[in-house]
Chains A and B, each alone.
Chain A
Amino acid sequence: MIVDEKIVLLNSSKKSAFQAMLKRCYDAEDFSDKVLIQVGEGKIRLTTNDTIRVAEKMQGVHSLGLYVAKVKGNDVVLSIEGSQLLCNRIKKNRIELTKEQSKLWMEGAPLQLEKFITARYVVAFYKDLCLGCGRVSVDGKIYPHVPKWRRLQQ
């Protein structure tokens, strides 16, 4: 069976466009030599060539690879894993959190910005750890994109 028809390998022009968006949003280089695929609306997953080859032989494929990003208009919203894979290659629109702020972030609580940021999304860091993206709101707060099932309980 062919892998789920909604899964599309990013061709070179789409990959270049995605790389350009990553560069513009985070001044980050691409996800190394791995394969990028698009699933559903703008969702990007990362996998390997071998995984794609094996998936083509399998039946009932539900998903493959790792969800790394979602393209929203002109922005790229990185998943926690997407940000972790890029990590130190993210040079722009990154914010460093304190221990207390990192806890709030993982609880999904909005954080008040200390300085003005023009970007719509930022990546949060705590020590060497990447905590994914947050949306910068007009009220000067950052709303973390932490899925409910991964939030710390207060």
Chain B
Amino acid sequence: MSTINISEDLRNLLYSIPDIDVKSLLESYQKPIRQSIRINTLKAREEYVLSMLRERSIELKKIPWARYGYWVVNDVNVSNTLEHMLGLIYIQGAVSMAPVEVLSPKPGELVLDLCAAPGSKTTQIAQALQGEGVIVANDVNIKRIRALSSNVQRCGVINCIITQVDGRKFPLWAKGFFDKVLVDAPCTSLGIVSKDWSAAKKWSFRTSERLSKLQLSLAISGFECLKVGGIMIYATCTLSPQENEWVIDRLLANKPNARLENIRLEGLKINKGLLEWQHNKYNPELERCVRVYPYEHEAEGFFIAKIVKEGDS
């Protein structure tokens, strides 16, 4: 078995984060992520799809924190099945389902997915809306929009608008417009290294710092698009505090009417957000954010923050 190469910067980063078990993390990077699916109830009843999959001898185990999520227990390729091609199931990482579960969209709501491609979370939001309300799914990159568009079509979503703009500009026409916003920001992807080892090999503090500025702009933009009382989820699939806690700390400093809420998801092992990193102290509220490490569920690593917009101060 070949061994993963990690950059010197990444090694330094990992040893600087107090609650990471670096040995377990590096081992997890060398194993494939457990396959998991979401049953798409926009297309068919959950029980019906489950019975079809059972007929194919696909063994499933419920993911406790995701309403329609299942681990695929046996070694089968679910991507080459009728159920996948018809949109009855969506192949989605188990922890990647968590941000939308925390966002908890309700039928009738207006939801913005600011960095939407390739659409796993967009289609999950659409499923929660049950055809009522509207989802605006935005991405800046046309190639990624094509993938988003295909997935939205395959999942049978009728109430989605796909836009292609720089997410930082959204408040110019949508300030205070949405009930819920998801900012699943582009990141250095340290939570999904087992899918792409190059993320670990190339990782640098410089790239992370550069991305964090974009992430902060996107988080501010998403927050400005919220109605008073609205909820925003900021999520990344990386472990770097610069792209996670630092971004939320700056958002709280920038927006006095932003407040963090606690996150609870059944069965999901979580670690609290960091309050200090590399001699920088963060807002004590950051404890309410959650970090999920790849070795905890043989799944992706994620950072999730739940932010509520209070009345303008």
Using a CB–CB distance below 8 Å, which chain A residues touch chain B? Answer: 1, 34, 46-48, 50-51, 54-55, 57-67, 79-81, 84-85, 102-103, 106, 126, 128-129, 131, 146, 149-153
A81 pairs with B165, CB closer than 8 A: no
Interface centre among A46, A66, A106 (most CB of B within 10 A): A66
> CA–CA, A146 to B86, complex, Å?
10
Q: A48-B159, A50-B159, A129-B86 are in contact. Are A58 and B173 (CB under 8 A)?
A: yes
* Cβ contacts B57-89/A at 8 Å (1 or 0 each): 000000000000000000000001110011100
* Cβ contacts B24-68/A at 8 Å (1 or 0 each): 000000000000000000011000100000000000000000000
Q: How far is the CB of B173 from chain A (nearest CB, A)?
A: 5
Contacts of A80 in B (CB 8 A): 86-87
The interface residues of chain A, by DSSP majority, are classed as: mixed
Q: A51-B159, A58-B136 are in contact. Are A66 and B82 (CB under 8 A)?
A: no
The closest CB in chain A to the CB of B149 belongs to A63
Q: How far is the CB of B77 from chain A (nearest CB, A)?
A: 9
B163 pairs with A54, CB closer than 8 A: no
B150 pairs with A149, CB closer than 8 A: yes
Contacts of B48 in A (CB 8 A): 128
B165 pairs with A67, CB closer than 8 A: no
Contacts of A59 in B (CB 8 A): 163, 165, 169, 172-173
B134 pairs with A1, CB closer than 8 A: no
The closest CB in chain B to the CB of A102 belongs to B82
What are 9 of the A-B contact pairs (CB < 8 Å)?
Answer: A50-B159, A51-B134, A59-B169, A62-B145, A64-B161, A79-B153, A81-B154, A103-B82, A106-B82
B160 pairs with A57, CB closer than 8 A: no
* Cβ contacts B155-177/A at 8 Å (1 or 0 each): 01111111111000100111001
Q: Is B131 an interface residue (CB 8 A)?
A: yes
